[in-house]
Amino acid sequence: MKNFLNLKSGIIYGLELNKLFSYLNKKNIALLAINCIDNLTINSVLESARISKTIVIIQFSYSGSSFFIGNSNDKNSFDSSVKGAILAAYYIHEASIYYNVPVILHTDHCTKDNLNWIDSLLNYNKDFFNSYGKPLFSSHMIDLSIYNLKYNIDICSYYLNEFNKFGIFLEIELGCTGGEEDGIDNSKLSKDKLYTKPENVIYAFKKLSKISNNFLIAASFGNTHGVYKPGNVLLCPKILLRSQNLLNKYNNSNILNFVFHGGSGTSFKIIKECIKYGVVKINLDTDIQWNYWNGVLDYYKKNKLYLKSQLGNPKGIYKPNKKFYDPRIWLKNSKKFIINYLLNVFNILGCNNLI
C-alpha cells in the first residue's frame, strides 16, 4: 500500500484529495484530524505522521486561529482569527515539506456568525491559487446544523460552488455534535438534535453532488465534544450505515464520505465500526489537549524539587535550575506525550504505512 497515490509531501487538495477519500472509504481506513493551536501541536502531529508514514489532517478552529497569533482575549477578534489561520497555513505548507508528510489543511466548525471568517480565507485562497496554482487550504467546514435543513444546504451549496473553483473541499454538518468546543455550546440541545435522519443525508447529497463531489458530511449519531462518564453518550453508528443503504437505492455508484466529530474518549471498537460505515475523517481535540497537559504534569512531578526557584535544589542552595525550567525542556515532554498517543492511535486504526 506504499504511497498508493504517489502523494508528495505538502498540502493535498482537489482531485488528489477526492481520490484519497474514495480510496480510504473503499479500504475502510480513516485519517485523524487534529485540532492544533500552536507550533508545538503542529510539529507533534507532523513528526508522528512522519514516523508512522501516514497522512494527517491538521485543522484550526476560529478561536484556535486567534490563539495561534497570540490573542488571549476571551472574545477572539475577527482580525486575529483571520491572520492566525493564514500564518498557521503558511507555516504548515513549509513544515509539511520539511517533515516529508502529505497534509490535509482544514478549518473546523464555522458557524453562521463567523461566515465572514470563511469569506476572508476564501479571498486568501484565491490569491494563493492565482500565484501558485493551488489553494492555501485543502478544505473548510461550515456548520449550520442548528438551522433548518434547506437553509443549511442552500448556504453550503453556495460555498461549495465557490470552493470548487479552487479545488477546495467542503465539510458540512447534519444534526448537531453535542457538548461544547471553542465557544460553540450545544450542551443544552434536545437529544433528538444529536441524531441525523438518513433522509436528510440523502437530501444534502443530492443537492451538493450537482455542484461537485468534493464534500464530506459530518452526520451526527449522538457524538459529543469532550470526554464524559461512560453511558452518558449514546452513540448510534448505524445511522451512517442506513444512510449508505438509502443512497445505494438512489444511486448505487456513489458512496458517502463521513466525518466523526467528538472522537476523543470513544472506544476503538466503535470507531472501527464507524469507519466500516464510511467514516474517512476522525476529529481528535480533547485527547490531544490532555496529553499536552499531561506531559507538563509528568515533567513537574519528576522534577518539582528543581522547579521551586531559579537557585537552590537538592544538590545545593545556590545550584541553578535553569536547565529544568527552560520551556524548551518541559514543552519537549508535552510533545513526547502527544506523539506517543498519536502513534498508538495510528497503529490501532491501521492508518499507518500509507506513504
Specify the pLDDT at position 227. 47
Percentage, residues of the chain above pLDDT 70:
88
Q: Once rounded to an integer, what is the mean pLDDT over residues 254-273? A: 84
Domain contains 304: no
Cβ distance 173 to 203 under 8 Å?
no
Domain contains 104: yes
Query: CA-to-CA distance for 67 and 292, rounded, in angstroms?
Result: 16
Specify the pLDDT at position 235. 84
The single residue of 38, 74, 79, 108 carrying the catalytic annotation is 108
How many Cα atoms occupy the beta-carbon half-sphere of 244 within 13 Å?
Answer: 17
Specify the pLDDT at position 185. 47
Q: Once rounded to an integer, what is the mean pLDDT over residues 14-29? A: 95
Domain contains 303: no
Specify the pLDDT at position 249. 86
pLDDT band at residue 194 using 50, 70 and 90 as cut-offs:
confident
Q: Once rounded to an integer, what is the mean pLDDT over residues 27-33? A: 95
Query: CA-to-CA distance for 90 and 234, rounded, in angstroms?
Result: 39
Specify the pLDDT at position 193. 67
What are the b/e assignments for 81-96, b being 16+ CB within 10 Å?
Answer: bbbbbbebbeebbebb
CATH number of 268's domain: 3.20.20.70
Specify the pLDDT at position 195. 86
Report the Cα 259 to chain-centroid distance in Å: 10
Query: What are the tens digits of pLDDT across the range 287-314?
Result: 999 999 999 999 999 999 999 999 999 9
Please report the DSSP string for 299-332 in residue order: HHHHHGGGSS-SEEETTEEEEE-HHHH-HHHHHH
Domain contains 324: no
Specify the pLDDT at position 128. 98
Specify the pLDDT at position 215. 98
Instruction: Determine which of 154-168, 201-215, 259-273 has the lowest per-residue pLDDT on average.
Output: 259-273
Mean pLDDT of the chain: 90
Specify the pLDDT at position 321. 97
pLDDT of 197 over the 60 cut? yes
* H-type alpha helices, 237-285: 238-250, 268-276
Query: CA-to-CA distance for 210 and 214, rounded, in angstroms?
Result: 11
pLDDT of 229 over the 50 cut? no
Question: Based on C-alpha coordinates, what's the Rg of the chain?
Answer: 21
pLDDT of 42 over the 70 cut? yes
Instruction: Measure Cα distances from 141 to 64, 91, 114, 163, 169 in Å.
Output: 14, 20, 11, 11, 9
Domain contains 33: yes
Any bridge partners for residue 103, and if so which?
11, 56
Q: Residue 182 is part of which domain span? A: 10-293+338-349
pLDDT of 338 over the 70 cut? yes
pLDDT of 76 over the 60 cut? no
State the virtual CA torsion across 205, 211, 212, 217 in degrees, nearest 10: -30
- Number of domains making up the chain: 1
Instruction: Determine which of 69-78, 197-206, 276-285 has the lowest per-residue pLDDT on average.
Output: 69-78
Domain contains 105: yes
Q: Once rounded to an integer, what is the mean pLDDT over residues 271-284? A: 93
Domain contains 272: yes
Domain contains 329: no
Is residue 285 part of the annotated active site? The answer reads no
